[in-house]
Structures are given as C-alpha cells and as structure tokens.
Amino acid sequence: MLEETITRLFGEKVTHDLLRSAETGTWPADLWRELEENGLTRTLVPEALGGAASGWGEAFVILRAAGRHAAPLPLAETLLASWLLAAAGIEAPAGPLTVLADPVPEGALSGNRPGDRLTHRAGRVPWGASAGHAVFTTARGGRTHVGLVETKGAVAARGENLAREPRDELAFDRAGVIALGATALPANVVRLLGAMIRSAQMAGALGGLLTQSVRYAGERVQFGRPIGKFQAIQQELARLAGEAAASGVAAESAFAAAERAAPEPGVWIRDADPTFEIAAAKVRAGDAAEIAPGIAHQVHGAIGFTYEHALHFSTRRLWSWRGEFGTGNEWARLLGRRALALGADGLWPDLTSRG
Amino acid sequence: MLEETITRLFGEKVTHDLLRSAETGTWPADLWRELEENGLTRTLVPEALGGAASGWGEAFVILRAAGRHAAPLPLAETLLASWLLAAAGIEAPAGPLTVLADPVPEGALSGNRPGDRLTHRAGRVPWGASAGHAVFTTARGGRTHVGLVETKGAVAARGENLAREPRDELAFDRAGVIALGATALPANVVRLLGAMIRSAQMAGALGGLLTQSVRYAGERVQFGRPIGKFQAIQQELARLAGEAAASGVAAESAFAAAERAAPEPGVWIRDADPTFEIAAAKVRAGDAAEIAPGIAHQVHGAIGFTYEHALHFSTRRLWSWRGEFGTGNEWARLLGRRALALGADGLWPDLTSRG
Amino acid sequence: MNEFKFDLCRLPQETKALRDEVRAFLAEHLRDYPPSLRAYTWTGYDREFSRKVGSRGWIGMTWPRQYGGGERSAFERYVVLEEMLAAGAPVGAHWVGDRQSGPLLLRFGTEAQRRNLIPRICRGEITFCIGMSEPDSGSDLASIRARATKAEGGFRLSGTKLWTSGAHSCDFMIGLFRTDPDAPDRHAGLSQFIVDLRTPGITIRPIRDLAGDEHFCEVIFEDALVPADALVGQEGEGWNQVIAELAFERSGPERYLSCHPLLVELLRAMPGDADDGAAAAIGRQVAHLATLRTMSLAVAGLLEAGRNPLMEACVVKDLGGVFEQAMPAFAQSLLDLEPRFDAGASEYQRALALLVQIAPSFSLRGGTREILRIIIARGLGLR
Amino acid sequence: MNEFKFDLCRLPQETKALRDEVRAFLAEHLRDYPPSLRAYTWTGYDREFSRKVGSRGWIGMTWPRQYGGGERSAFERYVVLEEMLAAGAPVGAHWVGDRQSGPLLLRFGTEAQRRNLIPRICRGEITFCIGMSEPDSGSDLASIRARATKAEGGFRLSGTKLWTSGAHSCDFMIGLFRTDPDAPDRHAGLSQFIVDLRTPGITIRPIRDLAGDEHFCEVIFEDALVPADALVGQEGEGWNQVIAELAFERSGPERYLSCHPLLVELLRAMPGDADDGAAAAIGRQVAHLATLRTMSLAVAGLLEAGRNPLMEACVVKDLGGVFEQAMPAFAQSLLDLEPRFDAGASEYQRALALLVQIAPSFSLRGGTREILRIIIARGLGLR
C-alpha cells in the first residue's frame, strides 16, 4: 500500500525535467508539498507530535523508493531529523530539515537550554541551504542531546556532491537554539543512522539501475537482435541483479535492526545495538556501487553517458552516496576490528545471535 | 632453435606418467640425463667453466618451456646455482643443484676458505634431497660470497609444495664447504633471481593453461556445440589469454633486465639493477595465478579436477610458485614503497628511464 | 521484468535452544576434529557421525513423523544445517539423503519406498548419491545416454555415470536413466531409479582428484537388474522430477559456508596488530557473509511459506559461490603463508591448501556459473 | 591456436634526448595546467597548444617529409605520445588527425588530398573528427544508414552521425556513408568522405555528458553537397578502409594512461605513513602499469618491423582498459576522499570526480569490451 502510493507519487512527479531543474538549484516545491500532504515527511514522528508514528520498516520502503527515483530533496534527512527531535520530545518545525553528521563539541553551545546560542561550523551539510532548520547532537553530562537551529543566515558556502545534490557549509555564529533535549541515543547516532538511510537510498538506486538496464537491453538492437539476447550481456545483468538484491536485503536488515533498537523515538535498547547491520549495509551497498554502475553503463553504451538520458541520475548518486556518512572502508574497518576482537571462535556465535 | 629443441624434448619426455611418478618421489633420471646431454643444465656457465655461455634470454626460453611442461626437476634451481658458482669462479659439480633462498648468517661458517665448515638449518629448499649440492650465499666483509656444499647427510625432513615438488629441510652440521668465493652480487641475489626464475616458469604454466583450455573448449560438446562457441566461455578465455600474455611479457622483461645487469657471471652493474622488473614480473605472474587457474578449471569442468587429467599439473604449480621466493604481496610492497619514495613527480621519469 | 523479492525472515526465538544443543553436540563430538578436516565441510564423510546426528533427530527434521521424520520447521532444520557447516562437521554421509533423496521420495516415491527408506535415512544408516552426469553430459543433462530397459523382473541398467560424488561409500544411487530412447523431445523419456549399489553388474571406480582425495566416482552399469519398484515416480517423468530436485539444492547455507572454516582459522592466525587495510578487508568479508546469510534465510522463509522463490535461490547461489570461491585468495592476500599439506604445515596452511585447490570447483556444482546466470537473466525477462 | 607473440622492444637510446625535449616543452607550456584538467588526457582540447606541438614537429612525426612529416621512427612518436599522455597534456585538437585521419589519407587519399591536408595537420592547424556511429548503430557499424548520393558537383550527404567526439570544434570529419544502398552485403557499399564541416546543410549539436562536458556531438546532414574529391579511397571500400583505421587505434599508450594523472595525484595525496597494505596495493598498480607499457611498446616494435600484431594489440587494449578503468575505484580504496568538483574540492578530488564518472566509458571506446574479447577468442582459434 505505502509502497504503491510512494512509487506512484515519485513515478509521476520525479520527471526528467524536475531532476534537471533541481540540479540547477531549483527547489522542487510541488513535490515537497505533495510529500508533506501525504504525511511522508513525518512518518517517524509519534502521533502526539503530529506524525504518522510509523516505524523504520516503513521508512525503508519510502527511502528505497526515493533512491530508486533519485528524488531530489532531503526526504531522508528530514525523516531522520524529525525522528531525532521526537527522541528528545521536540516538535519538528514545518518544512525540510537537515542534520549535522557529527556531534557539536560541548564548547560550541553557550548553555544547555533553549534560548542558548550555537557557534559552530559544519561542512557538507546535505541540503543545508534548502532546509529551514538543522538538527544537531551534542554530548552533555554523558548523554546525547538533540538540538534544533534555524539555518537562516548560517549558509557560509554552497557546495554539491557528484550528483549535484546540495552539500553546503553552515557557519552558526551565536545562532539561537530553538530547542534542546536529552535522549538515550548513542553519541554517533547521526552518522550511524545517516549511513543507514543512505544504504536504503543506494539499494533503491541499484534497483533502478537494474530496471533501466534490463529494459534497455530488451529494446536496443545490435547485430540484428536485442542486446539482451547476447550471453555476455546476460552474464553481466545477472551480476547486476545480484548486487541490487544483496544491497536491498542488507539495507532492509539494517532498518529492521534499527526498529528493534528503537521501536519508538526516545527508546534506544542497548542490547539491540544495530551498528553491525548498519555497517554491513553500508559496506554491501558501497561494494555494489563499485560494480553496478559500470555494468549499467556498459549495457547502455554511449547513450547512458549523455546528460539527456536518465541513467546518470542514479549512477552519480551511487558514486556520491557511497562516501556519505562514512565510506565503505570506514564501516568495514569497524566490522573488521570487531571481528578481530571477537576472534576465531567468537565470529559465528556473534553473527547468529543477531537473528 | 633453442625453443624448438627444448619444446620437443619436454614434449616427448614429460609425459603424464613421468609427472605422476615424479609426484610419488621418483627422480626422472632419463629426462635429467637428456637435459645434461643437451647442455641445458649449464647454459648460464661460461665456456671456461664448461658451460654453454648463453645469457639470461636463453635461460628465459628454457625455463618458460620447463614451466609450460611442468618439468618435474630442479632445472631452474640448477641454472641459477651454476650461475652463482660461476660468478664466484667456482666450477659447478655434476648433477642437479639447488639454492638456499636466504643468505647464511656470518656465524654459520667456521672460516672463509674452502675446507671450512657450515652449520645451518634451511627450510623449504627446492629439491633439497634430490640435488647433490646446494649453493648458498653469505655476507663477508661487505661482499656477497657464494659457497658450495654437498646435501648428503643434511636432509633433515622431506617436504613438498602443493604441486608435490620436493621442498626439503636441510640441516648442515659442520658440513664441509667445497668452495667459497667472493662476488659483486647483491646480498639478496638468490631471492631476487629466484623470484625471476619462478616468474618465467609461471609464464610458461599460464601459457600451458591457455593452450589446454582453448583445445578443450574446441573439443568439448555441450548443448549440441563446442563450448568454445559460447560467448560466456569466449569472454573468459580472452581474459585468460591476456593474463598469460602479460605474465610472459613481464617475465621476459625481467630476464632482459637481468641480462643488462649481469651480462656475464661475475659482473653486476649496479646502475642496471633489475629489482624493479623482477618484482613487477613476480607480482604480475602472481595476479595472473589468482585468475587464470580458475578460468581454466571453469572451462574444463569436472574432468579438470581429476588427477587423471593433466590440467592440475599446471594449476597446482601456479598455486605453489606464486608464493615461492617471495609472494606477490611482498614484491608489491617493495614496488609500492619505492613508488611512494619516488613520489608523484618521480614515478613516471623512473619508469621511462628503465627502457 | 520480475523484480526479485526477498522478504526478510528472522529465525524464531525457539530455535535458540536448538542451536545451543547443536553446539554442545558438536563441541563434544568434534573436539579433536582438526581444521584441515573441517575444511571439507559437507564433503567430509563419517557414517558414525551421521548415525549420531540421526539419533539426535537432526536428519529429516521436517519430514512426517510416520516415516521417522521430526515434523519440525524449516527454520529448525536451517539452524542445524548452518551450525554443522559453520563448524565444518563431516555431514557428507547423510547430506544427500537429507537434502535431496529423502525429499524426492517423499514427493514422488511409493508408499513402500518411503516406508522402507525414509526411516533409515533419518537414523543416518543409509547413504545416497546422485547419478546424473555422464561422460558426455556435464551441464547438459538432457543428453543422458545411460539406459534402463524393461526386463523380466524389473529394469536392466546399462551405461556409465560420471562425477557421482561418494558413490564408492554409498548404499544407494538415485539415478537418471533413459527409458524411452525414441522420445521425440530430449527431455522426455527419462526416468529416475533407486539403485542398490550392491546390485550385480555395477562397478564403482573412485576417481582421484587433484588434491589427492577420492570423492568423485565413475559408476558403470552392465545390464544390472533392478526390480520394477526401483522406479521413482512416473516413468518418463525423470526430467521434471530432477528439475524439482535441483531447486532444493540452490540456496541453503552450504552456498556460502563452504570456506567458513578457513575464515575462522584465518582469524586465529591473524597477527594482533593487523593494520587498517587488513581490518577493512576482514570487515568486508563479514558484511558479505552476514548479507548472504540474511538472503539465504529469506529464501528459506519463502519456501516455508509455500512460495516458490526459484530466482531468489539462484541469486543466492551465484553470490554465495563468488563469495566462498574467493575466500582462499582473500586469505592469501592477508597472510603470506604457503598453502601446503606436508609434515610441517600448520592446520591453517592445510585448510588453505585444500581450499585453494578445490574452490575453483564451487562454480561447477549443480550447474555452472554461466548457466546459473543465464537462468537469472531469464528471470529478469531477458531471453 | 595462434599463440600471441610479444617480442620485447626497448626504445632506442636516441629517444632520450627527444624525451627530455618533450618534458621541457611540457614543463614550460603546462606550468599552470591543473591536475583536474590533466585528467582529461587526450580529450583535452586546445588548438593553441596543438599549434605549438606542431611547430615542434611532433605531429605527423613518422610521415614523409614531402607532406610536412618528420620521417622519424615509430619509437620517437611513441615517446612524444606517452610523455604527452602521462602529463595529461591537452592533445585533443590534433589527436584524431595525427592518429587516424593523417594515416588514412596517406594510405588511401589522392595526391591532391594529401598535399592539401597533411601539411596543415602537421602544423596543428586543422582538426578532425570521425563520423561512424549512428543512432541505430553502436558497435554494429555495418548497419550504417547515412547516405552519400551522387549528384551534380559531387555527393549529397544525408542522415545523422552520433557520438562524434569533438565535431563542434573540428574543421573536418572523416565520415562513413552508404554509397550503394543495394549492395548485397551489409559491409559493402560504404565509402569514406572528408567533409568540411562548414559545408551548408550540416548541423552540429553538442551533447552534454553526465559530467557536464560537451564532447560528443550529433551531426545532421541534410543534403549537404560535398565535392567529388571528398571521397577518400575507393567508392564502396569504406568498410575495409575503416577496419584498417581501427587497427591503428588499438594499442597505443592511450590504452592504459587515461587515468595516469589520477595515479600521480594519488601519490601526491597519500599520507607519509602509508601502511603495508597500501604500499602493496600501489606496487601492484605499478607492476601492471610497467607491464602494459612493455606490451604496448612490443606492439609498436612489431608494427615498426612491418608485422601485423592485430591480436596482440587487442590484448593490450583489453588489459589496458581494465587497468585504467579500475583506477578511480583503486584510488578510493586507498584514500577516503570524496570525489567532488565544487568550490572547496582539491585538485585530486576534481580529477577523481571526473574519472569516477567517465571511466566506465573506457570499455566502450572503439568497440565494447565484449566485442573485443570475442575478437581475441577468435584469434585463439575459437569461433
């Protein structure tokens, strides 16, 4: 149901023209409004705070679809930001939101109550200039606090990733903190869940590559028959299908782990730490992002390299997202250090204890 | 000419039966005698010392052919050992020879003249028990000395590599040093030239894999036609051909560099240090040995895994040789450290200065 | 296009106790079983061990109680299987019976065949092999030439089966024979038989493999007479029955755990000060392993739910095969230790030596990788 | 089977001085040319630079003096080429003329064509593009539909050429057109023409690529009239002439140096304390680079010796393509730096950003990798 709704919505609205204009800096206001009206920007917010009170499983479906369609707006960031706010009991302001990937150092805040001031510089903030508000975390007295600031006046420099999605530099200079609240969340929660939302978007983009490539291989005729009939092409498309499927499973598994760790905002069950599944999902998607775009481009031939064709909206996002909220290397190091610490006799019991 | 002679000789003599019996420990005496009679065991020895006075280029042709036919005897080791002896002005004794890969520590020798005694333990000596004599190196007064000992009485343990070639442990206990002489060679000469001779054997084995696989693909019928007609198989055989060709070129290039550095035994031109080319050859062959056997086995299917089929005589040698006289990793580290030291602006000038 | 659909599936909480039981059992019975033998995983053969497994009720776990089965869930079976494989237990003697022959008989066998054989499979008493390939038919099973001819007292079998794993130590073969040489379609006219391998006229010749082991066999039939009730299922329906059987084969934990004992020993052998590059390389393996397991479990869940996830199973087999086949090279990229099996070799080196040699065969088992990918491509709608 | 034969070939000693000259030239003229532009290697376009290169006698180096060539050896040309490419010099404006169009005209052109065009190519004054692909013919060139029809005063060209690199900045196109639509064989009835791109009836539309550059073009011919002497070689022989032309394309240093500027910048960006794993990874790249160069030189030597190393050239192209295509991923495996091209990006990041995006196209240039490998397989005797 949800999947159908969102797929229909993105399918209709995220047109080629929309994607092109978004890449020149135009905010897709209609699409955003549509998402808001369907309650899709607040799915992770409890009803008490005006949200849909859905879980991470629904968020996965939404974000995978957003990734598949390359939806050019900060839906993933907004879902995460509003969830973080809800965890601190803060009502999310209207409009798109973004997050600061790393905790703000203690000294950056002048106090610990609303009305206090934030002085801090953060780079590569997704959609920093388009989002009205940014959500940040900071450690206070051993607890992770979540805070909310306006981005107005804080945009120091515009930037973009390879997919021409905004990645801006925000410089807060005694910016008023609208709200600040304590949570039970881990200190690296934004980077952790950030990696998770990117893994869902990547899984979606990989599925999109597969769909586009299979369709093209069935249509494009060379040497008198569709190229999809050539064994060499079939072998490659089968590999692409495997990469897409594995990334999808790994990402969904990460969201399921997040659902177990955080069945509702504000709750964080330490014994159900989802770091393993999230790291695995980001690593798996990163590896797929190394293989799959090459296959899709190889199948498409020259046309796939033109800006006019839609393929690059997916491949450039994969090349960008694989590095965001931690590269595959970084998350793999974490998994590897963990495995080395568990040792020969600990690896398998640990893996199977997870489900 | 030389290539034809040696190919004919190995082609006739290195039969399946010979290979099988060698793996059970039988010394291929006839084949060895034939090689000796053709002067092929002393090609690198100057005429004054009773050899053929050929260069490293000829040695490459001989060793590549030996690798291609999986010739089960220490021809490579004998060529290297006799060359080392010649470099020290020592006449090589009759029969097969072997080498100790690493220099013997200074204290292992009771003196520095013939008649002195060697007390030393060396593992994984190729054909240690089959070779009558072992050649070793040792550092004395800043110069690399080459020495000769009998292996008789020194065989502490028999061993073998994955290809069931003997790799024995020799324990010399006050063994009489038959001869010892100073040379201009670098301290790591055995490991260095050892890596080079293995790269030639590996190039030969890779060429053998290609020949066997192409022949089999042309003969084996599945689904009504030779499997070599299937595009998926063609793609893989083309890759195999590339790996074999690259390894051959890299190895030949290493021998050419050795010829420039050591145009005759006893000479070692420091400005023409062949370490770069030899390391590159061992790395390239090692990478090929990771890809090519898999392709050859995949093409051959089940029959290739049987002991009765000849394929494994080549694949098991590749799996063994890739680690001998330094793994690809070890030599790659050396090349990498060198490149890092040369830096961004030094890499290309260095590469092109080599030829 | 068919999009592949893996619905996530977690093992039910109840399986925890079972897992602990299996681990205790393995700890006890495999205490001195070395890594170099564990590396054989499901090709390790030990009738004694299989009888012990049977006595615990871990063979035919999902089958009806009336035939000696356990009527337990597919998940419980999955847990037992993956624990056995991860530990490298010698499950070879009951492997085929539990995985293929039992399900085949339950589905297509006569009541008498089931009563006679299934309970003995469950007890780990009898062992099976699969006779499909022939000298001139590898991946192309429709080209089978071995014949079964109706005769006084049953069928006479003649011809040669090749690459039959473990035939020399098995009691029965489920063999595919041509019963109608004149059938118009190459896939028609084939039938399956349960062949008692002690039947006169059968010669079994083990074939030594490159690693020195005898695992494959050639089985020669010279007018060997089997009774009429050796026929399994319908005469002439052998092809369709085999296809159904192959599907059982595709996505179990054996599809990505064949080299698991090596990964375990690699972790044991790694130096304490592994650098960042090594840590990342290991982490990447772990990520792939975890993902494959999740995918494999998803397929098991779909099967348990009565769905037919044929393509998903193919994808797991393909990815799993690439993963496990690459493991020996991965190990060698991290540790410069020679693969060897002679006297001075460590257990890690022995396990590595075995797997370096046999891993290339993993992409041949149950159809080559190329054919598997063509099946997947068809599943994507390409043909 | 044809065994591939690479006879090693060292550059003659005389080339040293030339190499130093080229380096001095590049040091002077590219002093401020940044890595992010060097990453374009032979797609970098600068007429001014090409004229300077021409004035040094480094275009048409091997051609006869009577047409303005240098009558120098293939090795001297190789040295100039590899120095230019390794430095990432913008050779795009003379690239096609020097590499394909000049040799084509020398081989098949009329005396008048040679006298008119070759000297200007040598001076770096005129630039060429190749018009082969069309909307419905990618790798399958025999399916070309653009037509040349005999007319008063020459030929009338109609149809569309696609993926013509650099047409919008070129003076001439060497185009393949169908002159005999009724030829029985698809490969027959094709002819090559030199088309002055200022000819009325020609519309050139640059096509923006995924990285934001305009390099490809669509060239539309609407009854464009070219003179009769625009025909190159024999009418109807276009296919065979093109095949000969493709062979020039296969094994030069451009087949493995397309990402070289990135490798250089990666070395610059590496931290001083690179660990063993990183060192080994870099060493492996160096080993492959050195081997590819030796192979490519060997092919150059065989060509210079009058041999026809077609298959060897294909092998170099295949291996070189895999090597250079993998370079961006390799760089990313060593350094966790984002590929980006916005304001704050470093030169390394910009070079990486470009190559991450365009490297996948390297296996399409001059025929796809699949087709190349099928050609190699045929060279092995498989068909």
Closest-CA residue to B261 (of B200, B193, B181): B193
Residues of D in contact with B253 (CB under 8 A): 8, 290-291, 294
pLDDT of amino acid B159 = 97
C264 and chain A in contact, CB less than 8 A = yes
Task: Name all chains with 3 or more CB-CB pairs below 8 Å to chain A.
Answer: B, C, D
Q: How many CB atoms lie within 10 A of CB A297?
A: 26
The two tokens of residue B237 are: 């055989």
Q: What is the pLDDT of residue A354?
A: 87
Is C307 in contact with B268 (CB distance < 8 Å)?
Answer: no
Measured between CA atoms, how close is A220 to chain C, in angstroms?
12
pLDDT in tens, D265-293: 999 999 989 999 999 999 999 999 999 99
- In the structure, what pLDDT confidence band is assigned to residue C2 with cuts at 50, 70 and 90? low
User: Which residue type sits at C376?
Assistant: I
User: What's the gap in Å between the CA of D317 and the closest CA on chain B?
Assistant: 10
Q: Is the pLDDT of residue C247 over 70?
A: no
Tell me if C382 and A256 make a contact (CB, 8 A cut-off). Answer: no
Choose, out of C139, C165, C218, C338, the residue to mutate when testing the contact with B (most B CBs < 10 Å).
C338
- Report yes or no: B272 at the D interface, CB cutoff 8 Å: no
D273-276: list long-range contacts, CB under 8 Å, 24+ apart: D274/B336, D274/B340, D274/D334, D275/C275, D275/C276, D275/C277, D276/B333, D276/C275, D276/C277
Gyration radius from chain A CA atoms: 21
| Contact present, D148 and D191 (Cβ < 8 Å) | yes
pLDDT tens digits, one per residue of D196-217: 999 999 999 999 999 999 999 9
Beta strands C128-131 and C172-178 are parallel
**Model confidence pLDDT, tens digit, residues C275-326:** 999 999 999 999 999 999 999 999 999 888 888 888 999 999 999 999 999 9
**ipTM of this complex:** 0.95
Contact A104, A243 (CB under 8 A): no
pLDDT of amino acid D248:
59
Which of C19, C287, C291 shows the shortest C-beta gap to A332? Answer: C287
With CB atoms and an 8 Å threshold, state whether C383 touches A348: no
List CB contacts (< 8 A) between D277 and chain C.
275-278, 281
C-alpha distances (whole Å) from D137 to each of A35, B177, C236, C289, D224 are: 42, 74, 48, 43, 21
pLDDT score for B112: 56
* Alpha carbon distance, N-terminus to C-terminus of chain D: 11
B333/D contact by beta carbon, under 8 A: yes
Q: Is the pLDDT of residue D2 over 60?
A: no
Neighbours of B141 (CB within 10 A): 8
Judge: A157–D139 Cβ closer than 8 Å, yes or no.
no
Beta-bridge partners for B306: C209
- DSSP SS3 for B22: helix
Res. C368 pLDDT band, cuts 50 70 90: confident
The reply to whether residue C340 touches residue B161, judged by beta carbons under 8 angstroms, is yes
What is the rounded distance in angstroms from the CA atom of residue D261 to the CA atom of residue D351?
A: 8
Residue B230's beta-bridge partner residues? Answer: none
Catalytically annotated residues of D: 249
Instruction: Report the C-alpha gap between D251 and D248 in whole angstroms.
Output: 8
Strand partners, A199: none
Q: What's the Cα-to-Cα distance from C383 to each of A295, A350, B234, rounded to whole Å?
A: 18, 43, 19
Choose among A275, A285, A278: nearest CA to A320: A285
CA–CA gap between residue D350 and residue A160 (Å, rounded): 12
DSSP string, B295-329: HHHHHHGGGGGBTTSSHHHHHHHHHHHTTTTS-HH
Residues on chain A touching B232 (C-beta within 8 angstroms): 231-232, 235
Least confident of A47-61, C22-36, C215-229: A47-61
Q: Name chain D contacts of A287, Cβ cutoff 8 Å.
A: none
Nearest to C319 among A235, A246, A276 (CB): A246
Q: Which of C235, C249, C304, C347 is an active site residue?
A: C249
Contact C336 B327 (CB under 8 A): yes
Q: Position of tokens 């931690």?
A: A326
Q: What is the mean pLDDT of chain D?
A: 93
> CA-CA distance, C204 to D325, in Å (whole number)?
51
User: Cβ of B291 under 8 Å from any chain D Cβ?
Assistant: no
d(CA B244, CA D380) in angstroms, rounded, equals 12
Q: Which of A186-200, B49-63, B105-119 has the lowest mean pLDDT?
A: B105-119
Q: D262: distance to nearest CA of chain B, Å?
A: 10
Task: Say yes or no: D210 contacts chain A, CB-CB below 8 A.
Answer: yes
Q: What is the pLDDT of residue B2?
A: 85
Task: Please give the sequence-ordered ranges of beta strands (E in DSSP) within chain A, or none if there are none.
Answer: 97-99, 117-126, 133-140, 143-150, 155-157, 167-183, 221-222, 225-226
| CA–CA dist B138, B161 (Å, integer) | 26
D300-321 residue pLDDT tens: 998 888 888 889 999 999 999 9
Long-range contacts of C56-61 (CB under 8 A, 24+ apart): C56/C21, C56/C25, C57/C122, C58/C22, C59/C94, C59/C97, C59/C98, C59/C121, C59/C122, C59/C123, C59/C124, C60/C98, C60/C102, C60/C118, C60/C121, C60/C122
Any B CB within 8 A of D335 CB: no
Q: Model's pTM, two decimal places?
A: 0.96
Residue D53 distance to chain A (closest CA, Å): 31
How distant is the Cα of A25 from the closest Cα of chain B, in angstroms? 37
Q: Which residues of C touch B169 (CB under 8 A)?
A: 344
Provide the b/e sequence for D176-191 (b: ≥16 CB within 10 Å): bbbbeeeeeeeebbbb
Percent of chain C with pLDDT over 70: 98
Environment class of A288 (CB within 10 Å of its CB; exposed 0-12, middle 13-18, buried 19+): buried
- Of the candidates B209, B237, B208, B203, the one whose C-alpha atom is nearest the C-alpha of residue B11 is B208
In sign, the C-alpha dihedral spanning A142, A143, A149, A155 is positive
What rounded mean pLDDT belongs to chain B? 95
pLDDT tens by residue, C139-174: 677 788 999 999 999 999 999 999 999 999 999 999
CA–CA distances in Å: residue C368 to residues B215, C201, C259, D293 = 19, 32, 19, 36
Query: How many residue pairs from chains B and D have C-beta atoms closer than 8 A?
Result: 166
**What pLDDT shows up at residue A114?**
60
Q: Is B222 on the interface with A (CB under 8 A)?
A: no
Query: Would you call B235 an interface residue with chain A, using a CB distance cutoff of 8 Å?
Result: yes
Does A353 contact chain B (CB < 8 Å)? no
Chain C partners within 8 Å of B20 (Cβ): none
Q: How far is CA D75 from the centre of its chain?
A: 18
**Among D82, D283, D380, beta carbon nearest to B336:** D283
> What's the average model confidence in pLDDT over C256-268?
97
Q: Which chain A residues are closer than 8 Å to C8 by Cβ?
A: 249, 252-253, 256
Q: Which residues of chain D does A315 touch, with a Cβ-Cβ cutoff of 8 Å?
A: 210, 360
Say which range, A26-30, B179-183, B227-231, has the weakest mean pLDDT. Answer: B227-231
Q: What sign for the dihedral angle of Cα B141, B144, B145, B150?
A: positive
Contact D175, D231 (CB under 8 A): no
Q: What is the pLDDT of residue C1?
A: 46
Chain A residues touching residue B230 (CB < 8 angstroms): 231
Closest CB to B238 among D288, D298, D318: D318
Q: How many Cβ contacts (< 8 angstroms) between chains A and D?
A: 101
Amino acid in position B208: G
Q: What is the pLDDT of residue D1?
A: 46
Among A301-305, B165-169, D21-25, the range scoring the smallest mean pLDDT is A301-305
Q: Closest partner residue to A319 among D343, D356, D369, by Cβ?
A: D356
Reply yes or no on whether the pLDDT at D81 is more than 90: yes
pLDDT in 10s for each residue of chain A, 355 residues: 788 999 999 999 999 999 999 999 999 999 999 999 999 999 999 988 888 888 999 999 999 999 999 999 999 999 999 999 999 999 999 999 999 999 999 889 986 566 789 999 999 999 999 999 999 999 998 999 999 999 999 999 999 999 999 999 999 999 999 999 999 999 999 999 999 999 999 999 999 999 999 999 999 988 889 999 988 899 999 999 999 999 999 999 999 999 999 999 889 999 999 999 999 999 999 999 999 999 999 999 999 999 999 999 999 999 999 999 999 999 999 999 999 999 999 999 999 998 7
